[in-house]
Structure 1
Amino acid sequence: MSARAEPVSFPVEGLTCAACIGRVERALGRLPGASAVSVNLATGRASLRLGPGTAPAEAAEAVEAAGYAVPEAETVLAVSGLSCASCVGRVERALAAVPGVRGAAVNLATGRATVRHRAGIVAPADLAAAVEAAGYAAEPVDGQAPPAPVEARAREARRLRRDLLIAALLALPVVVLDMGGHLVPGFHHGVADVLGAQGVAWLQAGLATLVLAGPGRRFFTQGVPGLLRGHPDMNALVALGAGAAYLYSLVATAAPGLLPAGSAHLYFEASVLIVTLILLGRSLEARARGRTGEAIARLLDLAPKTARVLRGGAEAEVPLAALKVGDIVRVRPGERVAADGVVVAGESFVDESMVTGEPAPVRKAPGAATVGGTLNQGGSLDLRVGSVGADTVLAQIARMVERAQGSKLPIQALVDRVTGRFVPAVIAAALATFAAWLALAPAPALGPALVHAIAVLIIACPCAMGLATPTSIMVGTGRAARRGILFRDGTALQRLRGVRVVAFDKTGTLTEGRPRVTDFAAAPGIDAAEALALAAGLERRSEHPVAAAIVAEAEARGLAVPEPESFAAEAGHGVHGQVGGRAAVVGARRFLDRLGIAVEPDLAARAEALAGAGRSPLHLALDGRHVAVLAVSDPVKPGARAAVAALRAGGVAVAMLTGDDRRAAENVAKSLGIAAVSAEMLPAGKVEALRALRAAHGPVAFVGDGINDAPALAEADVGLAIGTGTDIAVESADVVLMSGDPGSLVEAIDLSRAVMRNIRQNLFWAFAYNAALIPVAAGALAVVGGPSLSPVLAAGAMALSSIFVLGNALRLRRAGGRSAPAESPAARPAGSPA
């Protein structure tokens, strides 16, 4: 973009010392006209003034050439005026040409452009200006609030309906005047006796002018500039087709002598019907698009508009936007929970199906977490607000769904390449059709040549191609969200379909994740109660479900659980710290071995016996001495067996990767029918195991819920996090299963396959439709005595192709039941672990 005289400030990554500052400042200072160069180590930002002719992107390039990095940011633009796949390609090229932009993706279905660029280097105004220079309108979308273009779509749908009604009312007399004689004998003669033949022609011309200058104006104002710039789109095709029919008819009316003898025919009805039918198609598209995006609208509508806040001992009803963190909110029976928070008083059951997809209400008592938008049922609850606005779970889910709906699948790259050259090829085909009919058809050939050329222009509009992929993604991810399955991006939707092996973590994934202590044995001379209290005190700081079980056991025995003085967790090993003035360690035997703590033989034998019984043994050491062994048991989740069976029946291999004790892991795996088990694994070991599974079977998915699962979730081709797990696991995953039910994985795979199947159907229809009908429109059948395709029928067929694609995508709203993934047994990889 143009050089800016104002100061430029942007973040820099990799700064560690004063030498780094000097290196970056010198690099920036060498830029032409650079002044006031300053790099701040504390804030990690560089600022300077640039002289005329030096763009901000050059400053970022200088920093990167010096060995440092400018981080990437993302800007979302709402783009209006998009009508087909060629529009998408044009806007993407315009955005990619802005200095500092690293990538741009435009979604036709959502009307959103997502731009990746160097942070601080590219201003949203520059991006909007680039879109506007390409012939479209754009404005940045606030990244804090979840974008919900529902009202904008509703306005566009209303405008289309209004224009469609006007066009239809004006076009009807033209069609009646032109075609009435085919239905009513003597109609033409009767009208000619009243108005005169020339009067009929001028009446049609006047009505056609009103249609093209009114409702049809959008095609000319958007299509002609693109045509003149050498970047024609669907609007240009309609403008060329309707405009050519109109101008030819106008010449035939006003100056018929300019045309060859016998060719002064009127095609006003074709021009007005083309516009009317295209508007009809767009109106139906707008209605269907509104339904594809209804998932986000429904999510946002779940939040109540007001909240009942307790202030000064009295209730006050305030707008939801006025809530502050720390407010106490009262939720009565039958009301929706106003905000994310923690229950401080009252008991009730809350329907959280909108978040988890699970219909069973969840009991809420003091200390329980609440999610805004969920439905309170039987009792009254007082809760302390923990997050508001864009930080709520509901807003985060909406953003995640919007992001997934706006992303591009790898399959879209093929569509983009084809449609980028499609419209110019169509115009060339129309010109060739016109020339061939003019040269080869018997005189007078001008009329038939024009009719067939217009039909080619209209029939080939690439709307269906542009809508084929994004509409399926929108509907599929929206359906998944209502089932408690959140795709963080659309790419995961395509990758999940090809998964050949699924690896599960055990605790909290296949099991409840709420284990209970079943055994506690102390060494001779050790006070068992004191030892358990110290172990529980250390575990108070841990997020692991086993830690919660140890604390719960100590409290159930009436023991005083102390606060630890220090605490540290070793992923895959255990925890250690100071508690009650003593150095404490709780973890697997390998942790004690690593720390050089000798294991008591009797306690080791007890641990072996517990592991053999299917329980998970843990060891406690105090002040460097092994003093106790305890065991926990974690029940298998109700849906785990069915999920594993469904995956195996669908040709997907199943494995378990866990850091838990081998015997306990094998016991659980045996009960679930999983033969491939890797236990006592560190996080790095899970990553290596996933690579081995990938080499043996193909694309791999991993399902986990803990901090130690984050590397495996990132390594897998598709990482699926249990939504009831830790934030770190959720952030590392491609897909979030909000309900925590392993059966949701089966639904996710089923939905992925259904969406990809739907996209293939849409693309086949779009491409096959054009391939089959362009030759018909050009008159290939008429040459051998077959039928011709008039411009009016071409317009109707073009509109129907887009409606078919949208209708087919909307079928996905019923996809994703509790069923096995539809895959033939032949797809099972050779040697799959059963």
Structure 2
Amino acid sequence: MPEKIELPITGMSCAACAARIERELNKLKDVGEARVNFPLKKAVIFPKREIELKEIISIIRDIGYDVDLEADVTIRAKKEEAELKKDFIWSACLSAVVMVFSMWMVLPNMQHQNFILLILTIPVQFFFGLRFHRSTILNLKHFTADMNTLISVGTSAAFFYSTFVTFFPHIIMSAGMEPMTYFDSSATIITLILLGRFFESKAKTRTYTAIKMLYELSPKECVLLKDGKEVRISTDTLEVGNLVLIRPGEKVTVDGEVAEGSTYVNESMITGESLPVHKGVGDEVIGGTINGKGSITVRVTRIGKDTVLAKVIRLVEEAQFTKAPVQRLADKLAGVFVPIVILISIGALAVWWVFGPEPKLTNALLSFVSVLIIACPCALGLATPTAIMVSTGVGAKRGILIKSAEALELTNKARYVLFDKTGTLTEGVIVLADVIPTGGFSEADLLGVAYNLERQSEHPFSEALRKKAEELSIPPVKVDNFQAVVGKGIKGEIQGKACFVGNVALYEDSGKALEGSIKQLYQEKELSGMSPVLVWRGSDLLGLLTFSDRVREESRDVVTELNGMGIETVMITGDSQAAAGTISEKVGIRNFLYRVLPDKKAQVVEDFKKKGVTIMVGDGINDAPSLAASDIGVAMGKGTDIAIESADVVLMKGHLSRLVSLIKLSKKTLWVIKENLFWAFIYNILGIPIAFGVLYPFFGIRLEPMFGALAMMVSSISVVGNSLRLKMFKE
């Protein structure tokens, strides 16, 4: 029996669809748990016992959706995006013409002009808007309602009433009313909603892209060493125990251990370790990391789904399912609002038909349509998207790329902000922190030896030394008999004298003992999380150099401001305790976790989520699972593509200070959305009773469809105008 069954689902249009499928699948007695993810368009079923796949597929199809076992999820997402784009463009073109014909008399005969409007609106209403009507039929079948129901009922009421007016204008005139049509309302509503769906689809495609990019990290081919020969083969055909050659600058093919050679490997994208790590015989290497300048032979220890990279990919995918989607407030209101409106409109039809004045049928029909038209969801449909659209535009101008409405809805409730260290709180750049000469030697003496020796090495310190040497115009000189001492340092001869750069172990191996203040200084630098090295020539100790990862200038201010907002800040890193403690102290974070690998990092995020809304800020491949697992994943714009694709928000140009702006913008946006929903409903609350006719017995006042449409228009203008206030957002 399989541990889980994964099925790609087609036909879902909103989170309510996913919830409906999930609910039906969980009713099956052989299903332990079923989870349906709307963005990934996928269902994951955990069976209790053996279950027929066709039974599951049958349930899904019975409720109006389908399973496409052949389609690639990325191709399907791009196809959906292309279809929505095409439908919107055609719908917008037709709607624009409908608007022109509705506003001006183009033909001499009004009835002829209405016929033209009818013909132009039919494709928008029944072809480009078909997805809304189809969903409404499914909702009726299962006695539910959502935004699709509002769109379908509202536009259909406007369309069919207008069609009636077009064919039978004399009946309307006999009731003493002007025969007005509302084809422009139905066409415009469908066009605007299609535009919103297109942007939603475009955003969802990023999810698939992130996962696809993770798969592409692992090299497709490798060099296998077999019987003394080098053979290039597909990585997929490797077996545990094979020997693989990794040349300088190449990606490590798979997880394994070094069988021959030594090098430095950049593991920051997996472990978060800021400095490249030395690898010698017997040391483990991870697939997808980047080899330095040394050549190594690796014995394969893990393949396929057991590799570290495969586990990272699985964590990202699983996080997409465990991240609970925020149900839009408009959809929740629609679930209650739509059935009530339909009942009220039917009630109006019945009351006017039974008790109303003559012509009873005409008056009953007009009241029925008036209720539905004033309840048309144009403003309700615009309430959230317009605020989000303006807010994301404002954010983009401030260097904040917001990729989902859910991120804005949740960010204002953040209780915890978890920071990755390398590349987030720090710049991820190795710098020469201290140059400390001893024994009367100068900085030039110290750096001259260190620079020229490191120039022969692939060690990451060499680049930092090169920059410093160029600043001081230190000339390169010839180095003879250069040798790298694995795990300790390097040595060589400069102008006939033996010179060394290395750690205490190498210094003591040369027959010397580190004593006094320089020993104490060396230990202090090491305990503070820096990387100290000694430089000596012959029997003379020239001094001490320390290297570190530079802290961002803005980090401390950001942490201070977040703490002032009542948000708890935490640092998570794969670095040592000393390095983590040093950085956390510099930026003002009290709580930090060290030596945390990707799988553990995602679990830490899950633990914090249980206590409150959690933001994760990171920049590396190792952060991708935790960014996806968090309530709001925030990636640094200068980070890896995968971290950026996995995140909900990207801070462009790597400006960490924009995180505070994001939280403030979120609070303001959510307030505007609530105001919008108020304006979207206030006209309905006031207008529906009048449309029903409650004032007619006392004052002879009734709300005609024309005034219902006017109220709807004013409501929409109010919503748009209120949303535009976000452009004046100040931090």
- 1:774 corresponds, among 688, 710, 717, to 688
| Unaligned runs of at least 5 residues, structure 1 | 1-65, 80-84, 106-112, 133-138, 174-202, 257-262, 297-407, 568-575, 590-598, 622-626, 820-834
Q: CA deviation at 1:422?
A: 4.3
1:498 pairs with 2:406: no
In the alignment, the residues of structure 2 paired with residue 687 and residue 747 of structure 1 have an alpha-carbon distance, to the nearest angstrom, of 25
Q: What is residue 183 of structure 2 aligned with on the other side?
A: 275
Are the structure 2 counterparts of residues 776 and 607 from structure 1 closer, same or farther at C-alpha, using a change threshold of 3 Å? farther
Q: TM-score, normalised by structure 2?
A: 0.57
SS in 1 for 2:546: strand
Q: What is residue 632 of structure 1 aligned with on the other side?
A: 547
Q: CA contact under 8 A between 2:436 and 2:545: conserved in structure 1? A: yes
Aligned CA-pair RMSD: 6.1
Q: After superposition, give the CA deviation of every residue in 1:275-319 in whole Å (9 maximum; x if it has no partner).
A: 3455566678889999999999xxxxxxxxxxxxxxxxxxxxxxx
Q: CA contact under 8 A between 2:114 and 2:166: conserved in structure 1? A: no
- 1:510 corresponds, among 425, 432, 446, to 425
Are the structure 2 counterparts of residues 166 and 237 from structure 1 closer, same or farther at C-alpha, using a change threshold of 3 Å? same
Q: What is residue 796 of structure 1 aligned with on the other side?
A: 710
In the alignment, the residues of structure 1 paired with residue 637 and residue 662 of structure 2 have an alpha-carbon distance, to the nearest angstrom, of 14
In the alignment, the residues of structure 1 paired with residue 176 and residue 23 of structure 2 have an alpha-carbon distance, to the nearest angstrom, of 45
Q: CA contact under 8 A between 1:249 and 1:267: conserved in structure 2? A: no
- 2:383 corresponds, among 468, 471, 478, to 468
Q: CA contact under 8 A between 2:416 and 2:608: conserved in structure 1? A: yes
After superposition, residues 675-694 of structure 1 pair within 5 angstroms as: 676=590, 678=592, 682-683=596-597
1:166 pairs with 2:101: yes
Q: After superposition, give the CA deviation of every residue in 1:303-356 in whole Å (9 maximum; x if it has no partner).
A: xxxxxxxxxxxxxxxxxxxxxxxxxxxxxxxxxxxxxxxxxxxxxxxxxxxxxx
Q: CA deviation at 1:649?
A: 4.4
Q: After superposition, give the CA deviation of every residue in 1:552-606 in whole Å (9 maximum; x if it has no partner).
A: 6699784879999999xxxxxxxx699899xx999999xxxxxxxxx97767622
Q: CA deviation at 1:163?
A: 1.9
Q: CA contact under 8 A between 1:511 and 1:636: conserved in structure 2? A: yes
In the alignment, the residues of structure 1 paired with residue 435 and residue 632 of structure 2 have an alpha-carbon distance, to the nearest angstrom, of 39
Are the structure 2 counterparts of residues 694 and 443 from structure 1 closer, same or farther at C-alpha, using a change threshold of 3 Å? closer
1:752 pairs with 2:687: no
Q: What is residue 722 of structure 1 aligned with on the other side?
A: 636
Corresponding letter in the other structure for 1:794:
G
Q: What is residue 92 of structure 2 aligned with on the other side?
A: 157
Q: CA deviation at 1:794?
A: 0.5
In the alignment, the residues of structure 2 paired with residue 503 and residue 227 of structure 1 have an alpha-carbon distance, to the nearest angstrom, of 42
Q: CA contact under 8 A between 1:75 and 1:140: conserved in structure 2? A: no
In the alignment, the residues of structure 2 paired with residue 510 and residue 168 of structure 1 have an alpha-carbon distance, to the nearest angstrom, of 57
Corresponding letter in the other structure for 1:275:
F
SS in 2 for 1:725: coil
In the alignment, the residues of structure 1 paired with residue 24 and residue 483 of structure 2 have an alpha-carbon distance, to the nearest angstrom, of 57
Are the structure 2 counterparts of residues 205 and 154 from structure 1 closer, same or farther at C-alpha, using a change threshold of 3 Å? closer
> What is the aligned residue count?
548
In the alignment, the residues of structure 1 paired with residue 642 and residue 159 of structure 2 have an alpha-carbon distance, to the nearest angstrom, of 57
After superposition, residues 558-577 of structure 1 pair within 5 angstroms as: 558=476
Q: CA deviation at 1:739?
A: 1.4
- 1:480 corresponds, among 363, 378, 395, to 395
1:647 pairs with 2:573: no
After superposition, residues 821-832 of structure 1 pair within 5 angstroms as: none
Q: TM-score, normalised by structure 1?
A: 0.51
SS in 1 for 2:95: helix
Q: CA deviation at 1:433?
A: 0.9
Are the structure 2 counterparts of residues 552 and 488 from structure 1 closer, same or farther at C-alpha, using a change threshold of 3 Å? farther
In the alignment, the residues of structure 2 paired with residue 795 and residue 587 of structure 1 have an alpha-carbon distance, to the nearest angstrom, of 80
Higher RCO (Cα < 8 Å, 6 or more apart): 2
| Unaligned runs of at least 5 residues, structure 2 | 46-52, 67-72, 142-148, 205-322, 440-445, 493-499, 506-512, 536-540
Q: CA contact under 8 A between 2:348 and 2:364: conserved in structure 1? A: yes
After superposition, residues 347-362 of structure 1 pair within 5 angstroms as: none
- 2:42 corresponds, among 107, 116, 119, to 116
- 1:433 corresponds, among 348, 353, 364, to 348
SS in 2 for 1:796: helix
Q: CA deviation at 1:68?
A: 4.6
1:265 pairs with 2:175: yes
Q: After superposition, give the CA deviation of every residue in 1:175-219 in whole Å (9 maximum; x if it has no partner).
A: xxxxxxxxxxxxxxxxxxxxxxxxxxxx76666555445546754
SS in 1 for 2:401: strand
In the alignment, the residues of structure 1 paired with residue 368 and residue 594 of structure 2 have an alpha-carbon distance, to the nearest angstrom, of 71
Are the structure 2 counterparts of residues 224 and 488 from structure 1 closer, same or farther at C-alpha, using a change threshold of 3 Å? closer
In the alignment, the residues of structure 2 paired with residue 650 and residue 291 of structure 1 have an alpha-carbon distance, to the nearest angstrom, of 32
Q: What is residue 549 of structure 1 aligned with on the other side?
A: 464
Q: CA deviation at 1:455?
A: 0.7
After superposition, residues 688-703 of structure 1 pair within 5 angstroms as: 698-703=612-617
Q: CA contact under 8 A between 1:538 and 1:577: conserved in structure 2? A: no
In the alignment, the residues of structure 2 paired with residue 811 and residue 290 of structure 1 have an alpha-carbon distance, to the nearest angstrom, of 25
Q: CA contact under 8 A between 1:617 and 1:632: conserved in structure 2? A: yes
In the alignment, the residues of structure 2 paired with residue 415 and residue 652 of structure 1 have an alpha-carbon distance, to the nearest angstrom, of 28
Report sequence identity in percent. Answer: 29
- 2:2 corresponds, among 63, 67, 80, to 67
Q: CA deviation at 1:806?
A: 4.3
Q: CA contact under 8 A between 1:241 and 1:454: conserved in structure 2? A: yes
